[in-house]
């Protein structure tokens, strides 16, 4: 999908970060937008900042299937169809596998994994009716490697990767192109909005943990959005964002068991 002009683009988690940048990027290409998030204020700001006359918004908790399906119905009622769906909404938990609560585990899986499943399945029949369509699911470099204190995040993002890759194979001979995205460190608020108990370097101070993330985050949301649309235009099945993501992917391939011996140094 090289041209988004007059296409209907659906984006979850559009109130900030990569989601907002994706909305800007699509609007700049003349797309019609359907945006959702739990943050109504941020969502309204995104809609206003895009400057697009063709935009609808909805407060949606993507962990709730009925809300995602209602958002799909709203989109179809407004535009008649959808051409591109980007399941971007995500959250983070930082805690050891031993100490993480089941409530936090269920919370992150509900948004990061089930939100992707609900968004994919809700729009899949509609996307398949279009002459050209795209489905983009956001995983992470933590869907490629696992990191101490990130077991819940790893589980959710590995699950997104597995689900999306299987779906891509299933849709290979159809009009629908499916792509899985693995961002590296992106300059967003995800670390500060996380349920942070202990960071990979053993820090229990949330601000210091967020500062470590900020130090490692080298890519802007706008750069991430441009890379997503560029790779989508090339019909790539997998999108790595940032030099750190490329390096991590290479490291995992060369040291599938011992990669943390090197990667762990980045967190110290």
Q: Residue 66 pLDDT more than 70?
A: yes
The topology (CATH level 3) of 8-267 is Rossmann fold (3.40.50)
257 has pLDDT over 70: yes
pLDDT at 206: 67
Q: pTM to 2 decimals?
A: 0.93
CB atoms within 10 A of CB 213: 22
What dihedral do alpha carbons 141, 219, 260, 106 form, nearest 10°? -50
Residue with tokens 């489905």: 135
| The pLDDT of residue 213 is above 70 | no
Smallest CA-to-CA distance from 229 within 7, 47, 62 is with 7
Q: What is the mean pLDDT of the chain?
A: 92
Which residue is catalytic, options 66, 102, 118, 153?
Answer: 153
Q: Please indicate whether residue 153 is annotated as part of the active site.
A: yes
Mean pLDDT for the stretch of residues 114-128:
98
Q: What's residue 218's pLDDT?
A: 78
pLDDT 10s digits, 151-178: 999 999 999 999 999 999 999 999 999 9
Spans of all domains in the chain: 8-267
């Amino acid at each position: 999908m090289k041209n988004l002009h007059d296409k209907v683009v659906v984006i979850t988690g559009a109130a900030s970060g990569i989601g907002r940048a994706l909305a800007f990027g699509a609007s700049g290409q003349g797309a019609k937008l359907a945006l959702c998030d739990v943050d109504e204020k941020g969502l309204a700001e995104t809609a206003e900042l895009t400057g697009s006359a063709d935009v609808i918004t909805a407060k949606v908790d993507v962990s709730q299937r009925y809300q995602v399906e209602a958002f799909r119905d709203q989109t179809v009622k407004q535009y008649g169809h959808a051409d591109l769906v980007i399941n971007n909404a995500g959250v983070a938990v930082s805690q050891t596998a031993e100490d993480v609560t089941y409530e936090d585990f269920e919370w992150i899986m509900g948004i990061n994994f089930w939100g992707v499943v609900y968004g994919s399945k809700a729009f899949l029949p509609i996307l398949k009716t279009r002459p050209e369509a795209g489905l983009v699911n956001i995983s992470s470099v933590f869907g490629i490697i696992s990191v101490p204190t990130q077991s819940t995040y790893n589980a959710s993002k590995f699950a997104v990767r597995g689900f999306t890759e299987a779906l891509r194979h299933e849709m290979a001979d159809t009009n629908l192109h499916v792509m899985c995205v693995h961002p590296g460190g992106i300059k967003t608020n995800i670390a500060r909005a996380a349920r942070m108990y202990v960071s990979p370097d053993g820090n229990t101070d949330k601000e210091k943990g967020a500062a470590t993330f900020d130090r490692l985050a080298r890519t802007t949301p706008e750069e991430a959005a441009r890379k997503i649309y560029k790779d989508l235009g090339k019909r790539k099945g997998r999108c790595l964002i940032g030099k750190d993501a490329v390096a991590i992917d290479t490291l995992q391939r060369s040291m599938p068991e011992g990669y943390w011996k090197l990667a762990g140094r980045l967190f110290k």
